[in-house]
Chains A and B, each alone.
Chain A
Amino acid sequence: MSGVNSVALAVFIALFLIVTVLGFVAANWRRADLTQLHEWGLGGRRFGTVVTWFLLGGDLYTAYTFVAVPALVFAQGAIGFFALPYTIITYPFVFVVMPRLWSVSHKHGYITAADFVRGRFDSGALALAIAATGILATMPYIALQLVGIQVVLAAMGVEGTGFMADLPLVIAFVILAVYTYQSGLRAPALIAVVKDAVIYITVIAAVIAVPAKLGGYGAVFDAVPAQKLVLSAPKPGTLGQFSAYSTLAFGSALALFLYPHSVTGVLSSSGRGVIRRNTAMLPAYSFLLGLIALLGYMAIAAKVDHAPEYAAGFKRYGGNFAVPALFLDVFPSWFVGFAFGAIAVGALVPAAIMSIAAANLFTRNVYKEFLRPDCSGKEESSVAKVVSLVVKLGALVFIFLVPRQSAIQLQLLGGVWILQTFPAVVLGLYTRWLHRWGLLAGWAAGMIVGTYCAYDLGFKGNVYPITIGGLRVDGYTALWALFVNLGVSVVVSAILNAVGSLNGKDATVAGDYEPAASPEVTT
């Protein structure tokens, strides 16, 4: 790469400035007392259908997703496309499950999933396990958003040596940290509207302009090696890539809404109807993600990996450089700036929500639970604000100290870990038959097995082969670990229930999970 692309950089900075102003203005949006945690950290639970659509869309479909999914398709072909079925089937699941979590949380003032587990199972230890898992899974995810920004900055030729190389990233993150501190969840909610608009424009332009330049979609797919176009078929003794594909999609779909930032998005909505309607509207983003995945093939067809001007980028960032290189190859400079700005802003929204979600978890389920049980609402909110700063600082330090590859591996591991909260959080919404110590034992077993499998794979992948009666079945590590988790939870619960072990007091009643008798506010 030679020199800075100044036109692109100017457009990029302009977009970033607009978003920064919005972040600060957001504090006055739907003005309320931001010294209360449910106002700062959940936007007052007042977001209607449209704002929730933007917020969750901006939250779940992160910049890293937009870089990593096409990178996987670029490098490995059809298997990388599992992101599409994954984001299709997560919504029917959310439609059924999440309104129950919303209702019980609204009734009891729960702000995190761990709050719910605390109330349902009367166990601070189990709630701590759920909260710690959430924070652990979120940290590398925030760090990876920074990788998204790093890649586009490098693609615009913004490079330096030593501290200067990292300065633009530090500035961007400090600004983000300050307005998140001030405005809370209102900031990413407002910015998400801009983010989604620029992302949609970018992707629609890309899926029209790129194939037009390359000779149509037929030509794009013809350029892809045949063995990449579909999954490898089962042979005697193995299921090929079939089981890997569907277990990755299924396990990821179950895990997505267990992430703290997803729960924050769900609980900030103004009612059950908002969540239910959004499950029919959010697949618009899945369509977008499918198109983005195809950018990986367009990068193959455009042969950007053979172009000498991008060699340095590919060397440093691997497949993650495919989409930036494609944009540089096809678009005029000003639109490159716009598109890269979209990716950078796309990193800020989830990074803000993730840090708020992690802050909520720490404040409610560690600080208030174990350190200051009688702290005031105001103190709660102040602690959360400071923790959101610490979390972002941690992510920044993390990305500078830890090799990038480790951040990616930890994020993969985070997906395995977060799914281990499924029995307590999701099954807990339906039954209290599972004993609190059974759930804790199951969680521990799932975490150990999941981490061991990842270790056994050298932390390089998340598909682990097991052999059942001579048949090799490749499957998503997180799902194997969940099976162990469920098995242990059920067996230990059965024993503890049989001997009549104390199981605490349920703070909730059956009606708390259903629609309230009085009409809810719908907007």
Chain B
Amino acid sequence: MRFGIVVFPGTWSDGDCHHVIHSILGHTADYLWYRDRPDLTADYDCIVLPGGFSYGDYLRAGAIARFSPVMSSVADFAASGGAVIGICNGFQVLCEAGLLPGVLMRNNHIQYRCQWTNLRVERTDTAFTRACAPGQVLDVPISHGEGNYFADEGTLARLEDEGRVVLRYTTPTGEPAPDANPNGSAHNIAGISNRDGNVVGMMPHPERCCEEIMGGCDGRLIFESAVRWRMSQSG
């Protein structure tokens, strides 16, 4: 299994994702430079857009990164059915690039938040939730200042109708309570997918919880799902 990890200037989860994919899970992982425009479909099984502050998030999170040459390659890869995950800033880039609907606004309390959250898995047939059980509650940390998911009512209704809300912030027992929402996201949304389930964006950081010594291993399920999904594609 070969993963590509996109690096924009200002990306900082690239090394963390590489550590998990390569050193923990034993797969191949390459860095993909933002100024390049390779054909990803031939060489890669999964593309990761990691967290960070691409271009400092100075204009709006992800707004400049989406114009990078590498994003054309990512769009082509996604259109061909390839598995693409955007984590944190990567989710913001996917939304800005139009590969996922909606936007990530500033947290409603206007502060940055780094803390553990509980995520209920709403759908288990996407490329990144296959290894999870329906309704399973994962412990995954967040670290962002702009994770407040917003879309117009029609888009939100469509996402819900089509089952494209993949992860929701909940209490430890799986209740999507207002108190469990760390940033004001509409419908407690933590992650969504495109219609085919091959492109997923999520604000929490699964790469930060793939070893017991880091406080938990639930993040592994996200990466292991990509492996299962790839096997099901080739099978």
Do these two chains really belong together in a complex?
no
